[in-house]
Amino acid sequence: MKDIKHFINGSPVGSLESRWFDDINPANGEVIARVAEGGEAEIDQAVSAARAALAGEWGRMPVARRMELLHKVADGINARFEEFLQAECLDTGKPRSMASHIDIPRGAANFKIFADLVKNVPTESFAMDTPDGTGALNYAIRRPKGVIGVISPWNLPLLLMTWKVGPALACGNTVVVKPSEETPHTAALLGEVMNEVGIPKGVYNVVHGFGPGSAGEALTRHPGVDAITFTGETRTGTAIMKACADGIRDVSFELGGKNAAIVFEDADMDKAIEGTLRSAFANCGQVCFGTERVYVHRSRFDEFVERLRQGAEGLRMGWYDDPEVNFGPLISRQHREKVLGYYRKAEEEGATVITGGGVPYMGDAMASGAWIQPTIWTGLPDDSVVVNEEIFGPCCHVRPFDDEDEAIRLANDTPYGLAATFWTESLGRAHRVAPRLEVGLIWVNSWFLRDLRTAFGGSKQSGIGREGGVHGLEFYSELSNVCVKL
Protein backbone atom coordinates (compact mmCIF):
# COMPACT_ATOMS: atom_id res chain seq x y z
CA MET A 1 0.00 0.00 0.00
CA LYS A 2 1.06 3.55 -0.66
CA ASP A 3 2.64 5.57 2.19
CA ILE A 4 1.93 9.28 2.48
CA LYS A 5 4.71 10.93 4.44
CA HIS A 6 5.31 14.36 5.90
CA PHE A 7 7.25 16.78 3.72
CA ILE A 8 9.88 18.51 5.83
CA ASN A 9 12.85 20.52 4.58
CA GLY A 10 12.31 19.29 1.03
CA SER A 11 12.18 15.56 1.87
CA PRO A 12 9.52 12.97 2.62
CA VAL A 13 9.71 12.01 6.29
CA GLY A 14 7.93 9.06 7.94
CA SER A 15 6.34 9.19 11.36
CA LEU A 16 9.05 9.66 14.00
CA GLU A 17 7.03 7.67 16.51
CA SER A 18 5.79 5.08 14.02
CA ARG A 19 2.24 6.31 14.18
CA TRP A 20 0.27 5.92 10.97
CA PHE A 21 -3.40 6.26 10.10
CA ASP A 22 -5.55 5.17 7.16
CA ASP A 23 -6.59 7.33 4.23
CA ILE A 24 -10.01 6.03 3.18
CA ASN A 25 -11.89 6.43 -0.09
CA PRO A 26 -15.36 7.51 1.06
CA ALA A 27 -17.04 6.12 -2.07
CA ASN A 28 -16.34 2.49 -1.16
CA GLY A 29 -14.65 2.51 2.26
CA GLU A 30 -11.36 1.14 0.90
CA VAL A 31 -8.08 2.10 2.52
CA ILE A 32 -6.05 3.80 -0.21
CA ALA A 33 -2.94 4.79 1.71
CA ARG A 34 -1.19 4.74 5.06
CA VAL A 35 -0.48 8.25 6.35
CA ALA A 36 2.27 9.29 8.78
CA GLU A 37 0.87 10.94 11.90
CA GLY A 38 2.91 13.82 13.23
CA GLY A 39 3.02 15.38 16.66
CA GLU A 40 5.20 17.85 18.50
CA ALA A 41 8.48 16.36 17.23
CA GLU A 42 7.55 16.57 13.53
CA ILE A 43 6.05 20.03 13.93
CA ASP A 44 9.23 21.16 15.64
CA GLN A 45 11.34 19.83 12.76
CA ALA A 46 9.11 21.50 10.21
CA VAL A 47 9.07 24.85 12.01
CA SER A 48 12.87 24.77 12.33
CA ALA A 49 13.17 24.09 8.61
CA ALA A 50 10.76 26.93 7.84
CA ARG A 51 12.68 29.36 10.06
CA ALA A 52 15.99 28.36 8.48
CA ALA A 53 14.54 28.90 4.99
CA LEU A 54 13.43 32.42 5.97
CA ALA A 55 16.98 33.22 6.96
CA GLY A 56 18.41 31.61 3.82
CA GLU A 57 18.07 31.86 0.05
CA TRP A 58 14.26 32.33 0.15
CA GLY A 59 14.51 35.31 2.49
CA ARG A 60 17.05 37.02 0.25
CA MET A 61 15.44 36.11 -3.07
CA PRO A 62 14.50 39.06 -5.34
CA VAL A 63 10.73 39.42 -5.66
CA ALA A 64 10.79 38.83 -9.42
CA ARG A 65 12.54 35.47 -8.97
CA ARG A 66 10.12 34.43 -6.22
CA MET A 67 7.20 35.23 -8.49
CA GLU A 68 8.75 33.31 -11.36
CA LEU A 69 9.08 30.26 -9.11
CA LEU A 70 5.46 30.52 -7.96
CA HIS A 71 4.31 30.59 -11.58
CA LYS A 72 6.33 27.41 -12.06
CA VAL A 73 4.51 25.80 -9.12
CA ALA A 74 1.20 26.47 -10.89
CA ASP A 75 2.61 25.09 -14.13
CA GLY A 76 3.95 22.08 -12.21
CA ILE A 77 0.48 21.29 -10.85
CA ASN A 78 -1.01 21.62 -14.31
CA ALA A 79 1.69 19.37 -15.77
CA ARG A 80 0.60 16.65 -13.32
CA PHE A 81 -3.09 17.59 -13.54
CA GLU A 82 -4.38 14.03 -13.93
CA GLU A 83 -2.40 12.80 -10.92
CA PHE A 84 -3.71 15.61 -8.71
CA LEU A 85 -7.21 14.97 -10.00
CA GLN A 86 -7.13 11.26 -9.22
CA ALA A 87 -5.67 11.90 -5.77
CA GLU A 88 -8.35 14.48 -4.91
CA CYS A 89 -11.18 12.31 -6.24
CA LEU A 90 -10.01 9.22 -4.36
CA ASP A 91 -9.59 11.14 -1.09
CA THR A 92 -13.01 12.82 -1.31
CA GLY A 93 -15.12 10.73 -3.71
CA LYS A 94 -16.12 13.99 -5.44
CA PRO A 95 -17.10 13.80 -9.12
CA ARG A 96 -14.31 14.24 -11.61
CA SER A 97 -16.46 16.86 -13.36
CA MET A 98 -16.18 19.08 -10.28
CA ALA A 99 -12.54 18.46 -9.38
CA SER A 100 -11.39 19.01 -12.96
CA HIS A 101 -13.25 22.33 -13.25
CA ILE A 102 -12.78 23.74 -9.78
CA ASP A 103 -10.43 22.02 -7.33
CA ILE A 104 -7.33 21.44 -9.41
CA PRO A 105 -7.36 24.44 -11.80
CA ARG A 106 -8.09 26.80 -8.91
CA GLY A 107 -5.45 25.05 -6.80
CA ALA A 108 -2.90 25.95 -9.49
CA ALA A 109 -4.29 29.44 -10.17
CA ASN A 110 -3.88 30.42 -6.52
CA PHE A 111 -0.11 30.56 -7.04
CA LYS A 112 -0.24 32.73 -10.15
CA ILE A 113 -2.81 35.23 -8.97
CA PHE A 114 -1.00 36.06 -5.73
CA ALA A 115 2.41 36.14 -7.36
CA ASP A 116 1.14 38.73 -9.85
CA LEU A 117 -0.66 40.69 -7.19
CA VAL A 118 2.28 41.05 -4.81
CA LYS A 119 4.51 42.22 -7.62
CA ASN A 120 2.06 44.94 -8.65
CA VAL A 121 0.50 46.22 -5.47
CA PRO A 122 1.56 49.75 -4.46
CA THR A 123 2.21 50.91 -0.88
CA GLU A 124 1.47 54.35 0.52
CA SER A 125 3.83 57.32 0.85
CA PHE A 126 3.35 60.74 2.49
CA ALA A 127 5.54 63.82 2.26
CA MET A 128 5.17 65.77 5.52
CA ASP A 129 6.07 69.21 6.83
CA THR A 130 8.46 69.53 9.77
CA PRO A 131 8.93 72.53 12.11
CA ASP A 132 12.43 73.23 10.71
CA GLY A 133 11.01 73.40 7.20
CA THR A 134 13.10 70.61 5.68
CA GLY A 135 10.26 68.08 5.65
CA ALA A 136 10.20 64.32 5.90
CA LEU A 137 9.14 61.49 3.66
CA ASN A 138 7.10 58.55 4.93
CA TYR A 139 6.82 55.40 2.93
CA ALA A 140 5.50 51.94 3.74
CA ILE A 141 7.26 48.69 3.13
CA ARG A 142 5.86 45.19 3.37
CA ARG A 143 7.87 42.50 5.10
CA PRO A 144 6.92 38.82 5.34
CA LYS A 145 5.32 37.91 8.65
CA GLY A 146 7.56 34.86 9.12
CA VAL A 147 6.49 31.24 9.49
CA ILE A 148 2.78 30.79 8.76
CA GLY A 149 0.90 27.77 10.10
CA VAL A 150 -1.75 26.67 7.59
CA ILE A 151 -4.56 24.40 8.82
CA SER A 152 -7.00 23.34 6.14
CA PRO A 153 -10.22 21.29 5.81
CA TRP A 154 -11.25 18.38 3.61
CA ASN A 155 -14.03 19.76 1.45
CA LEU A 156 -11.88 21.46 -1.23
CA PRO A 157 -8.47 20.20 -0.09
CA LEU A 158 -5.99 21.52 -2.66
CA LEU A 159 -7.97 24.65 -3.46
CA LEU A 160 -8.39 25.82 0.14
CA MET A 161 -4.85 24.91 1.14
CA THR A 162 -3.23 26.75 -1.77
CA TRP A 163 -5.60 29.68 -1.23
CA LYS A 164 -3.43 30.23 1.87
CA VAL A 165 -0.07 28.84 0.76
CA GLY A 166 -0.14 30.92 -2.47
CA PRO A 167 -0.35 34.37 -0.81
CA ALA A 168 1.83 33.29 2.12
CA LEU A 169 4.72 32.37 -0.19
CA ALA A 170 4.08 35.30 -2.53
CA CYS A 171 4.59 37.62 0.45
CA GLY A 172 7.90 35.90 1.22
CA ASN A 173 6.83 33.78 4.20
CA THR A 174 7.49 30.11 4.71
CA VAL A 175 4.75 27.66 5.69
CA VAL A 176 4.03 24.59 7.76
CA VAL A 177 0.81 23.01 6.52
CA LYS A 178 -1.41 20.65 8.47
CA PRO A 179 -3.86 19.31 5.86
CA SER A 180 -7.06 17.61 6.93
CA GLU A 181 -6.54 14.04 8.10
CA GLU A 182 -9.30 13.04 5.66
CA THR A 183 -7.48 14.39 2.58
CA PRO A 184 -3.69 14.23 2.90
CA HIS A 185 -2.93 13.31 -0.69
CA THR A 186 -2.65 16.52 -2.71
CA ALA A 187 -0.65 18.38 -0.03
CA ALA A 188 1.94 15.61 -0.30
CA LEU A 189 1.96 15.75 -4.11
CA LEU A 190 2.47 19.50 -3.94
CA GLY A 191 5.70 18.89 -2.02
CA GLU A 192 7.00 16.94 -5.02
CA VAL A 193 6.09 19.83 -7.33
CA MET A 194 7.86 22.31 -5.04
CA ASN A 195 11.05 20.27 -5.39
CA GLU A 196 10.65 19.81 -9.15
CA VAL A 197 10.42 23.53 -9.81
CA GLY A 198 13.22 24.53 -7.43
CA ILE A 199 11.45 26.07 -4.42
CA PRO A 200 14.20 26.08 -1.75
CA LYS A 201 14.07 23.48 1.01
CA GLY A 202 12.07 24.39 4.07
CA VAL A 203 9.81 26.93 2.34
CA TYR A 204 6.87 24.52 2.08
CA ASN A 205 6.51 21.90 4.80
CA VAL A 206 3.66 19.49 5.48
CA VAL A 207 2.94 17.57 8.67
CA HIS A 208 -0.02 15.19 8.62
CA GLY A 209 -2.17 14.27 11.56
CA PHE A 210 -5.28 15.19 13.51
CA GLY A 211 -6.30 18.24 15.53
CA PRO A 212 -6.36 18.02 19.33
CA GLY A 213 -3.39 16.14 20.82
CA SER A 214 -1.84 15.74 17.38
CA ALA A 215 -0.12 17.76 14.64
CA GLY A 216 -2.84 20.44 14.47
CA GLU A 217 -2.67 21.42 18.11
CA ALA A 218 1.15 21.16 18.15
CA LEU A 219 1.31 23.61 15.23
CA THR A 220 -0.94 26.16 16.93
CA ARG A 221 1.12 25.97 20.14
CA HIS A 222 4.59 26.14 18.61
CA PRO A 223 6.28 29.43 19.57
CA GLY A 224 8.20 29.48 16.29
CA VAL A 225 4.99 29.95 14.30
CA ASP A 226 4.24 33.65 13.75
CA ALA A 227 0.61 33.41 12.62
CA ILE A 228 -2.05 30.81 11.89
CA THR A 229 -4.45 30.78 8.99
CA PHE A 230 -7.26 28.31 9.44
CA THR A 231 -10.31 27.14 7.52
CA GLY A 232 -12.70 24.83 9.30
CA GLU A 233 -15.37 24.68 11.97
CA THR A 234 -16.14 27.62 14.22
CA ARG A 235 -15.59 25.44 17.33
CA THR A 236 -12.09 24.54 16.13
CA GLY A 237 -11.42 28.22 15.49
CA THR A 238 -12.18 28.96 19.13
CA ALA A 239 -9.59 26.38 20.27
CA ILE A 240 -6.97 27.72 17.87
CA MET A 241 -7.58 31.31 18.92
CA LYS A 242 -6.97 30.37 22.55
CA ALA A 243 -3.69 28.66 21.61
CA CYS A 244 -2.61 31.72 19.63
CA ALA A 245 -3.28 34.04 22.56
CA ASP A 246 0.08 32.84 23.90
CA GLY A 247 2.61 34.96 22.09
CA ILE A 248 -0.14 37.29 20.71
CA ARG A 249 0.02 35.57 17.35
CA ASP A 250 -2.24 36.72 14.55
CA VAL A 251 -5.04 34.55 13.16
CA SER A 252 -7.02 34.53 9.94
CA PHE A 253 -10.17 32.41 10.14
CA GLU A 254 -12.59 31.14 7.54
CA LEU A 255 -15.21 29.27 9.55
CA GLY A 256 -18.64 27.73 9.35
CA GLY A 257 -21.88 29.10 7.98
CA LYS A 258 -25.63 28.58 7.90
CA ASN A 259 -26.18 30.38 4.65
CA ALA A 260 -29.49 31.64 3.33
CA ALA A 261 -30.85 31.98 -0.18
CA ILE A 262 -33.78 34.31 -0.86
CA VAL A 263 -36.00 33.85 -3.90
CA PHE A 264 -38.03 36.99 -4.47
CA GLU A 265 -41.33 37.03 -6.33
CA ASP A 266 -39.65 38.63 -9.35
CA ALA A 267 -36.90 36.00 -9.62
CA ASP A 268 -36.13 34.21 -12.86
CA MET A 269 -37.26 30.80 -11.62
CA ASP A 270 -35.09 28.75 -14.00
CA LYS A 271 -31.97 30.50 -12.73
CA ALA A 272 -33.07 30.32 -9.08
CA ILE A 273 -33.71 26.58 -9.30
CA GLU A 274 -30.48 25.85 -11.13
CA GLY A 275 -28.51 28.01 -8.67
CA THR A 276 -30.13 26.55 -5.57
CA LEU A 277 -29.56 23.00 -6.78
CA ARG A 278 -25.88 23.82 -7.01
CA SER A 279 -25.64 25.84 -3.81
CA ALA A 280 -27.41 23.19 -1.73
CA PHE A 281 -26.08 19.99 -3.29
CA ALA A 282 -22.72 20.63 -5.02
CA ASN A 283 -19.88 18.67 -3.42
CA CYS A 284 -22.59 16.72 -1.54
CA GLY A 285 -23.47 19.91 0.34
CA GLN A 286 -19.97 20.25 1.75
CA VAL A 287 -19.19 23.79 0.63
CA CYS A 288 -18.74 26.42 3.32
CA PHE A 289 -20.89 28.96 1.49
CA GLY A 290 -23.48 26.37 0.43
CA THR A 291 -27.17 27.05 1.08
CA GLU A 292 -28.96 25.28 3.94
CA ARG A 293 -31.85 27.76 4.40
CA VAL A 294 -34.02 28.88 1.49
CA TYR A 295 -36.64 31.61 1.82
CA VAL A 296 -39.10 31.83 -1.08
CA HIS A 297 -41.82 34.44 -1.64
CA ARG A 298 -45.13 32.84 -0.76
CA SER A 299 -46.50 33.45 -4.28
CA ARG A 300 -43.77 31.23 -5.80
CA PHE A 301 -43.31 28.77 -2.91
CA ASP A 302 -45.14 25.69 -4.20
CA GLU A 303 -43.69 26.03 -7.67
CA PHE A 304 -40.16 26.41 -6.24
CA VAL A 305 -40.41 23.42 -3.89
CA GLU A 306 -41.76 21.15 -6.63
CA ARG A 307 -39.08 22.14 -9.13
CA LEU A 308 -36.29 21.86 -6.56
CA ARG A 309 -37.54 18.38 -5.69
CA GLN A 310 -37.45 17.34 -9.33
CA GLY A 311 -33.92 18.72 -9.66
CA ALA A 312 -32.66 16.98 -6.49
CA GLU A 313 -34.14 13.68 -7.62
CA GLY A 314 -32.41 14.11 -10.98
CA LEU A 315 -28.92 14.30 -9.50
CA ARG A 316 -26.69 11.44 -10.61
CA MET A 317 -24.83 9.67 -7.79
CA GLY A 318 -21.93 7.39 -8.48
CA TRP A 319 -18.26 6.64 -8.90
CA TYR A 320 -16.23 9.79 -9.48
CA ASP A 321 -14.96 9.16 -13.00
CA ASP A 322 -18.34 8.47 -14.61
CA PRO A 323 -18.86 11.64 -16.71
CA GLU A 324 -22.61 11.61 -15.97
CA VAL A 325 -22.07 11.71 -12.21
CA ASN A 326 -22.58 15.03 -10.42
CA PHE A 327 -23.15 13.88 -6.85
CA GLY A 328 -20.55 12.05 -4.73
CA PRO A 329 -20.53 10.71 -1.18
CA LEU A 330 -19.93 12.60 2.06
CA ILE A 331 -16.33 12.70 3.24
CA SER A 332 -16.62 9.82 5.72
CA ARG A 333 -18.95 7.45 7.52
CA GLN A 334 -18.35 9.50 10.67
CA HIS A 335 -19.56 12.67 8.96
CA ARG A 336 -22.52 10.75 7.55
CA GLU A 337 -23.53 9.80 11.10
CA LYS A 338 -23.54 13.48 12.00
CA VAL A 339 -25.60 14.48 8.96
CA LEU A 340 -28.04 11.58 9.43
CA GLY A 341 -28.47 12.76 13.02
CA TYR A 342 -29.83 16.02 11.58
CA TYR A 343 -32.03 14.10 9.13
CA ARG A 344 -33.59 12.29 12.10
CA LYS A 345 -33.80 15.51 14.10
CA ALA A 346 -35.68 17.24 11.27
CA GLU A 347 -38.39 14.60 11.41
CA GLU A 348 -38.55 14.84 15.21
CA GLU A 349 -38.93 18.59 14.90
CA GLY A 350 -41.90 18.16 12.58
CA ALA A 351 -40.42 18.65 9.10
CA THR A 352 -42.20 17.58 5.95
CA VAL A 353 -39.64 15.60 3.96
CA ILE A 354 -40.06 16.68 0.34
CA THR A 355 -37.38 14.28 -0.89
CA GLY A 356 -34.56 12.16 0.49
CA GLY A 357 -33.95 11.84 4.21
CA GLY A 358 -31.96 8.61 4.16
CA VAL A 359 -29.22 6.48 2.66
CA PRO A 360 -29.34 5.24 -0.95
CA TYR A 361 -28.39 1.74 -2.02
CA MET A 362 -25.34 2.11 -4.28
CA GLY A 363 -24.67 -1.56 -5.06
CA ASP A 364 -22.39 -3.98 -3.25
CA ALA A 365 -19.14 -2.43 -4.48
CA MET A 366 -19.97 0.90 -2.82
CA ALA A 367 -21.95 -0.45 0.11
CA SER A 368 -19.27 0.64 2.58
CA GLY A 369 -19.20 4.20 1.25
CA ALA A 370 -20.56 7.35 2.89
CA TRP A 371 -23.49 7.85 0.51
CA ILE A 372 -26.50 9.89 1.52
CA GLN A 373 -29.60 11.21 -0.23
CA PRO A 374 -30.01 14.87 -1.11
CA THR A 375 -32.77 16.10 1.14
CA ILE A 376 -35.31 18.93 1.14
CA TRP A 377 -37.54 19.83 4.06
CA THR A 378 -40.35 22.30 4.64
CA GLY A 379 -42.44 23.15 7.68
CA LEU A 380 -39.80 23.53 10.39
CA PRO A 381 -40.15 26.27 13.02
CA ASP A 382 -37.58 29.08 12.85
CA ASP A 383 -36.07 28.07 16.19
CA SER A 384 -35.56 24.40 15.26
CA VAL A 385 -32.08 22.91 15.59
CA VAL A 386 -32.01 21.93 11.91
CA VAL A 387 -32.71 25.49 10.76
CA ASN A 388 -30.07 26.96 13.08
CA GLU A 389 -27.04 24.65 13.16
CA GLU A 390 -24.58 24.10 10.32
CA ILE A 391 -25.11 20.58 8.95
CA PHE A 392 -22.55 20.55 6.11
CA GLY A 393 -24.49 17.98 4.12
CA PRO A 394 -26.71 17.90 0.99
CA CYS A 395 -29.86 19.32 2.52
CA CYS A 396 -31.90 22.48 2.82
CA HIS A 397 -35.05 23.74 4.48
CA VAL A 398 -37.42 25.87 2.39
CA ARG A 399 -39.73 28.38 4.07
CA PRO A 400 -42.13 30.96 2.62
CA PHE A 401 -41.98 34.72 3.36
CA ASP A 402 -44.34 37.59 2.62
CA ASP A 403 -42.23 40.72 2.17
CA GLU A 404 -38.67 41.95 1.68
CA ASP A 405 -38.13 43.02 5.30
CA GLU A 406 -39.19 39.63 6.57
CA ALA A 407 -36.87 37.82 4.14
CA ILE A 408 -33.89 39.93 5.22
CA ARG A 409 -34.72 39.49 8.91
CA LEU A 410 -34.91 35.70 8.48
CA ALA A 411 -31.67 35.53 6.48
CA ASN A 412 -29.81 37.52 9.16
CA ASP A 413 -31.28 35.55 12.05
CA THR A 414 -28.17 33.41 12.69
CA PRO A 415 -24.93 33.71 14.62
CA TYR A 416 -23.10 32.99 11.37
CA GLY A 417 -22.29 35.54 8.66
CA LEU A 418 -20.52 33.84 5.79
CA ALA A 419 -22.60 34.04 2.61
CA ALA A 420 -26.05 34.79 1.21
CA THR A 421 -27.53 34.44 -2.24
CA PHE A 422 -30.62 36.11 -3.60
CA TRP A 423 -32.60 35.94 -6.78
CA THR A 424 -34.41 38.93 -8.24
CA GLU A 425 -34.81 40.57 -11.64
CA SER A 426 -35.13 44.01 -10.04
CA LEU A 427 -31.97 46.11 -10.15
CA GLY A 428 -33.27 48.39 -7.41
CA ARG A 429 -33.99 45.49 -5.11
CA ALA A 430 -30.57 43.95 -5.76
CA HIS A 431 -28.80 47.09 -4.55
CA ARG A 432 -31.27 47.70 -1.73
CA VAL A 433 -31.07 44.21 -0.25
CA ALA A 434 -27.34 43.47 -0.62
CA PRO A 435 -26.07 45.98 2.00
CA ARG A 436 -28.64 44.80 4.53
CA LEU A 437 -27.32 41.22 4.58
CA GLU A 438 -24.92 40.62 7.48
CA VAL A 439 -22.48 38.38 5.61
CA GLY A 440 -19.08 38.63 3.97
CA LEU A 441 -20.09 37.17 0.60
CA ILE A 442 -23.23 38.15 -1.28
CA TRP A 443 -24.28 36.67 -4.59
CA VAL A 444 -27.09 38.18 -6.66
CA ASN A 445 -28.49 35.82 -9.31
CA SER A 446 -25.46 33.53 -9.06
CA TRP A 447 -23.51 31.38 -6.65
CA PHE A 448 -19.80 30.44 -6.36
CA LEU A 449 -18.89 33.01 -9.01
CA ARG A 450 -15.48 34.11 -7.75
CA ASP A 451 -12.97 36.68 -8.92
CA LEU A 452 -9.85 35.86 -6.91
CA ARG A 453 -8.98 39.55 -6.61
CA THR A 454 -12.00 40.12 -4.37
CA ALA A 455 -12.21 39.86 -0.57
CA PHE A 456 -13.23 36.51 0.84
CA GLY A 457 -14.34 35.81 4.39
CA GLY A 458 -17.15 35.89 6.87
CA SER A 459 -18.57 38.13 9.56
CA LYS A 460 -20.04 37.23 12.99
CA GLN A 461 -18.99 33.66 13.91
CA SER A 462 -17.99 32.81 10.34
CA GLY A 463 -14.53 34.25 10.44
CA ILE A 464 -11.92 36.83 11.24
CA GLY A 465 -10.26 38.86 8.51
CA ARG A 466 -10.46 38.70 4.76
CA GLU A 467 -8.27 36.77 2.37
CA GLY A 468 -8.20 37.17 -1.40
CA GLY A 469 -6.78 39.93 -3.55
CA VAL A 470 -4.87 42.66 -1.76
CA HIS A 471 -6.85 41.94 1.41
CA GLY A 472 -4.82 38.80 2.07
CA LEU A 473 -1.64 40.85 2.04
CA GLU A 474 -2.75 42.51 5.27
CA PHE A 475 -2.50 39.16 7.00
CA TYR A 476 0.46 37.65 5.18
CA SER A 477 2.76 40.65 5.53
CA GLU A 478 3.75 43.26 8.08
CA LEU A 479 3.43 46.85 6.96
CA SER A 480 6.26 48.99 8.36
CA ASN A 481 6.43 52.74 7.97
CA VAL A 482 9.79 54.34 7.19
CA CYS A 483 10.03 58.03 8.08
CA VAL A 484 13.06 59.78 6.56
CA LYS A 485 13.88 63.27 7.77
CA LEU A 486 15.09 65.31 4.82
Q: Catalytic residue positions?
A: 254, 288
Task: Give the chain's radius of gyration (CA, Å).
Answer: 23
Binding residue (CB under 6 A) for ligand NAD from 28, 173, 186, 220: 220
172-211: which residues touch ligand NAD (CB under 6 A)? 178, 180-181, 210-211
> Considering the rule CB under 6 A, would residue 458 count as an interface residue with ligand NAD?
yes
Round to the nearest angstrom and report the end-to-end CA distance of the chain. 67
Query: Cα–Cα distance between 476 and 301 in angstroms, integer?
Result: 45
Is residue 211 a contact partner of residue 116, using CB atoms and an 8 Å limit?
no
Among 43, 87, 240, 395, binds ligand NAD (CB under 6 A): 240
Start-end of H helices in 148-233? 157-170, 185-197, 215-221
Binds ligand NAD (CB under 6 A): choice among 87, 90, 150, 151:
151
For residue 254, list its beta bridge partners.
Answer: 231, 463
Tell how far CA 16 is from the center of its chain: 30
Instruction: Give the interface segment with ligand NAD, choosing from 60-68, 76-84, 230-238, 313-321 (CB under 6 A).
Output: 230-238
Q: Is 232 in the site for ligand NAD (CB under 6 A)?
A: yes
Least separation in angstroms between CB 381 and ligand NAD? 24
Q: How far apart are CA 140 and CA 450, in angstroms?
A: 30
The residue among 240 and 380 lying less far from ligand NAD, judged by its C-beta, is 240
Residues 406-425 that bind ligand NAD (CB under 6 A): 418
Binding segment (CB under 6 A) for ligand NAD, from list 58-66, 186-194, 227-235, 424-432: 227-235
Least separation in angstroms between residue 453's CB and ligand NAD is 17
Asked whether 68 and 10 are in contact (CB, 8 A), the reply is no
- Which residue from 73, 158, 390, 447 is in contact with ligand NAD, where contact means CB under 6 A? 390
Nearest residue to ligand NAD by CB is 211
- Binding-site member from 463, 465, 469, 472 for ligand NAD (CB under 6 A): 463
> What type of residue is 399?
R
Q: Is 400 in the site for ligand NAD (CB under 6 A)?
A: no
Is residue 212 within the footprint of ligand NAD (CB under 6 A)? yes
Q: How far is CA 388 from the centre of its chain?
A: 21
According to the binding rule CB under 6 A, does residue 26 interact with ligand NAD? no
Distance in angstroms (rounded) separating the CA atoms of residues 373 and 339: 11
Is 257 one of the binding residues for ligand NAD (CB under 6 A)?
Answer: yes
For residues 12 and 5, give the distance between their C-alpha atoms in angstroms, rounded to a whole number.
6
Distance separating alpha carbons of residues 420 and 405, to the nearest angstrom: 15
| Interface stretch with ligand NAD, choices 63-71, 86-94, 146-154, 358-366 (CB under 6 A) | 146-154
- Of 69, 377, 110, nearest to 197 by C-alpha is 69
Q: Does 217 bind ligand NAD (CB under 6 A)?
A: yes
Residue 276 makes contact with ligand NAD by CB under 6 A? no
With b for 16 or more beta-carbon neighbours within 10 A and e for fewer, the 344-379 pattern comes to ebbeebebebbbbbeeeebeeebebbbbbbbbbbbe
Instruction: Describe the crossing of helices 63-79 and 104-120 by its angle, rounded to 10 degrees.
Output: 170
Q: Which is nearer to ligand NAD, 173 or 231 (CB)?
A: 231
Give the C-alpha separation, 432 to 404, whole Å: 10
CA 113/CA 28 separation, integer angstroms: 36
Under the criterion CB under 6 A, does residue 216 sit at the interface with ligand NAD? yes
CB of 242 to ligand NAD, least distance (A): 9
Count residues contacting ligand NAD (CB under 6 A)?
32
Residues forming contacts to ligand NAD in the complex (CB under 6 A) are 151-155, 160, 178, 180-181, 210-212, 216-217, 220, 231-233, 236, 239-240, 254-257, 288, 390, 392, 418, 458, 462-463
